[in-house]
Amino acid sequence: MNASGPFDEMWGKEDTLRAPYRGFHSWFDQEDPARLRAKQREADELFRLTGITFNVYGKAEAEERLIPFDIIPRIISGHEWSKLSRGIEQRVRAINAFLHDIYHNQEILKAGRIPEEMIRLNDAFLPHMIGVEPPGGVYTHIVGIDLVCTGPGEFYVLEDNARTPSGVSYMLENRETMLQMFPELFSQNRVRPVQNYPVNLRRSLAATAPAGLDHDPVVAVLTPGIYNSAYFEHAFLADQMGVELVEGHDLRVVDGRVAMRTTEGYKPIDVLYRRVDDDFLDPLNFNPDSALGVPGVMDVYRAGRLTLANAPGTGIADDKAIYSYMPEIVEFYTGERPILQNVQTWRCSEPDALAYVLDNLGDLVVKEVHGSGGYGMLIGPTATKKEIAAFRRKLKARPSNYIAQPTLSLSTVPIFSRSGLTPRHVDLRPFVLVSPGNIQITPGGLTRVALKKGSLVVNSSQGGGTKDTWVLED
């Protein structure tokens, strides 16, 4: 990892323009800055008119905000992407094998590669899934792998999103906006397309339908409703796939099948792309107070008469303590060394690790094992003494709830500002579709950018924005 300062993906370490950006830079140099500022305003207005928003949760009601979008693309060479793709595919295969194993024979626990209590005492482990065989053997139908770059070709996995990865709608809208704003750029640069994701998503979901159907699989998207932070995405994907967007009250169990209400009565569903968390999925099997799920849906699923994407219980692969074992998991199930490396991680549940973290809080990033969206974390180098002291108390009270990592020197990519191109830190979330015998990785993914100077927090809920991500044909 690069400790001497951030690597800039456009200019490298020696202020020498890197090959993937040459075509773009030649175009940019000939552009009138006033025209580009107008285009940035036009892009912002497009996002506003399209309604590309997200909700920020706080102490008051959820607040709806516009996703900030930057018109300077992030550009990745085909050669870099080829290596990334191999690493992502290897990791996703290992995650699926791991999930099957812990809900069946638990060979990895018997082999002593992961402590048994790491699974048994984990809130994300779902006993209801023990012995359940999901249709096609697929647990994680849609996966998002968060990557950070620290140098040329140096990508590290920051976290795995195997439960309900979000953000793909922003990837698609970012590309649509860029195509509309700057069509000439796409005729001058050979950029791999991402627009076929919704078609591929529907095909991939249909391919995981329960066996023995005598009709084309019926797919639907289950949303918690309009107050969910990712509701725009739920509606967008249902519309793009040409399937129904449903809420829990639209569904019921009829003759052993989950069916949705239509103008012609209840129609059975074969594949439910659910964006509702496990705990709220079925009030008969999980949280009895849930009004978001479908009573009895787990019984239909366990009977093999419905595909739930992603499968219940996949959240344990999101767990940041389990993440720290991913190198062992990849090696155990694939027999290969990991192509993509983890970030060094201290498990605060271990006394020696906890002691180290407490002694070095000001230099580390500390995260909740089940946290997401940038909430509940401490970034030591930018935290106040008061914040560090408060976090120290949390760590001592519940050490097993946290992991810690070094503060990485994340790569930078230029954003468009009034003074021209200005570097900002980024991460990358590629999206992966898994169906029986097939793994598809969309070329690019969602680049999230920290719009505040010096900030390492890229989450939109914490002030970050997004960019179009280009993967070039070599």
- pLDDT recorded at residue 65: 65
Going along the chain from its start, the domains and CATH numbers come out as 19-341+408-471 (no CATH), 344-406 (3.30.1490.270)
User: Are the CB atoms for 157 and 144 separated by under 8 Å?
Assistant: no
- How far apart CA 274 and CA 77 sit, in angstroms, is 34
Tokens of 62: 């959820």
Longest dimension (CA), the chain: 67
pTM, rounded to two decimals: 0.92
User: Are the CB atoms for 248 and 291 separated by under 8 Å?
Assistant: yes
* Residue 276: alpha-carbon gap to chain centroid: 15
pLDDT string in tens for the chain (474-residue length): 444 578 999 999 778 999 999 999 999 999 999 999 999 999 988 888 876 655 554 444 445 567 889 999 999 999 999 999 999 999 999 999 999 999 999 999 999 999 999 999 888 999 999 999 999 999 999 999 999 999 998 999 999 999 989 999 999 999 999 999 999 999 999 999 999 999 999 999 999 999 999 999 999 999 999 988 889 899 999 999 999 999 999 999 999 999 999 999 999 999 999 999 999 999 999 999 998 999 999 999 999 999 999 999 999 998 888 999 999 999 999 999 999 999 999 999 999 999 999 999 999 999 988 766 556 789 888 889 999 999 999 999 999 889 999 988 899 999 998 888 999 999 999 999 999 999 999 999 999 999 888 887 787 666 789 999 999 997
Report DSSP letters for 264-303, one per residue.
Answer: TEEEE-SEEEE-S-HHHH-TTTS-TT-SSS-TTHHHHHHT
- pLDDT recorded at residue 53: 58
User: Are the CB atoms for 145 and 88 separated by under 8 Å?
Assistant: yes
Query: In a 10 Å sphere around its CB, with 0-12 CB exposed, 13-18 middle and 19+ buried, how is residue 327 labelled?
Result: middle
- pLDDT recorded at residue 434: 98
* Three-state SS annotation for 296-320: CHHHHHHCCCCEEECCCCHHHHCCH
- pLDDT recorded at residue 15: 82
User: Are the CB atoms for 418 and 382 separated by under 8 Å?
Assistant: no
- pLDDT recorded at residue 398: 93
